[in-house]
Copies of this chain bind each other. A is one copy, B any other.
Amino acid sequence: MPQVRAFGVQDATSPVVPFQIERREPGPFDVQIEILYSGICHSDMHQAHNDWGNSLYPMVPGHEIVGRVVKVGSDVSKFKLGDLAGVGCMVDSCRSCSACSEDLEQYCEKGAIFTYNGKERDSETLTYGGYSEQIVVDEHFVVKVSEKLDLKAVAPLLCAGITTYSPLRHWKVRAGQKVGVIGLGGLGHMGVKFAKAMGAKVVMITTSAEKGRDAKHLGADEVLLSRDAEAMAAHVGSFDFLLNTIPVSHDVNPYMALLKRDAAMVMVGVLTPLDPPVQGVNLIFGRKMLSGSAIGGMAETQDMLDFCAEHNIVSDIEMIDVAHVNEAWARVAKNDVKYRFVIDMASLKQAA
């Protein structure tokens, strides 16, 4: 199998270092993509450091991938040589369970195969992500990218974008609604852009006045400082929807109080226990819903990219060379990025 250059970690304590990986030759339905840009997601670090206890090494992170098609299998119908293409968090799924049948591959009942830190269908071959020069993926899990958009700023749409777009769509956010986006980071900044483009009145809910000002530049109509008890009280019972992007455990009760009757708060950032616990009374009085959402299916990911092309939406990014990934990771850990690092994969060739 062809060797390609990549960057990744050898174990849970390893820095990001260059090495070679194997990529398969494209099968009949595969698309081979020369990766141009690869976004850095906070989960890259969690997985590199085995924070979730499920890490497989060596690991090549990266699930926010855009590039150009350089080879297509004999039965590929969606792509031709030279097309722009994107790959997100998944590269395969069972294709036959009820979730896959409903275009919700991310909830595949057999378990979707993730772009990295996963195993291919043979249950042996490790998947390797976007910190590499090429990737080979079944066309079902590859999306088309418009030539109209700033390509490097498209990369984070494949994870941060779809993760926020999908719940806004599923819970039918629309004009006339008041929508809160809680937390301003890679996810939150996309949540603001999407909710605004969908016509909602968008309120950035944050602990930081500075982030509030930034959110206004991104399109937020209003800022609610969550530590200002008086301001929070003034917004009680007024939100049609809350998108909670905070990536760590926190008290959700003050946010539940902001919801209207029958409205939902959807968690997209935190996998850990919601501690301190939600109170029964905050669910019962007002029939409020606490839910969560994981990325999005492939059809919806394409829909999101089409929506971005139509509304000229991309991520706000800071571009780096692959030689600076370790520094970028350290900054991500301190939330010191507006709002996503993207690796210029041309630098991989220079580095090698």
Contact = CB atoms under 8 A, between A and B. Distances in A.
Interface in A91-150: 98-99, 104, 107, 109
A10 B107 CA distance: 56
A285 B292 CA distance: 7
Nearest to A282: B292
A281 interface: yes
A46 interface: no
Interface string A277-318: 111111111111111111000000000000000000000000
Interface stretch (A27-35, A178-186, A198-206, A264-272): A264-272
A268 B281 CA distance: 9
Given A107-B287, A170-B287, A287-B107, A280 B292 contact: yes
B294 A261 contact: no
A81 interface: no
B109 A237 contact: yes
A290 B276 CA distance: 16
A283 B292 contact: yes
A176 interface: no
B292 A261 contact: no
B272 A280 contact: yes
B292 A267 contact: no
Contacts of A289: 264, 289-291
Nearest to A97: B261
Contact of A287 (B272, B286, B287, B291): B291
A209 interface: no
A336 B98 CA distance: 43
> How often does this chain occur in the complex, in copies?
2
Contacts of A104: 261
A285 B109 CA distance: 10
A245 B274 CA distance: 21
Chain B CB count within 10 A is highest, among A104, A170, A285, A287, for A287
A277 B278 contact: yes
Contacts of A280: 249, 267, 269-274, 292
A185 B94 CA distance: 42
A275 interface: yes
Contact of A107 (B264, B267, B270, B285): B285
A35 to B, nearest CB: 27
A274 B284 contact: no
Contacts of A237: 109
Contact of A284 (B285, B287, B292): B292
A276 B279 contact: no
29 contacts: A98-B261, A99-B261, A107-B261, A107-B286, A107-B287, A170-B287, A249-B280, A264-B289, A267-B280, A267-B283, A269-B280, A270-B280, A271-B279, A271-B280, A271-B284, A273-B276, A273-B278, A274-B278, A276-B277, A278-B290, A280-B292, A283-B290, A284-B293, A284-B294, A287-B292, A287-B293, A288-B291, A288-B292, A289-B291
Interface of A: 98-99, 104, 107, 109, 170, 237, 249, 261, 264, 267-294
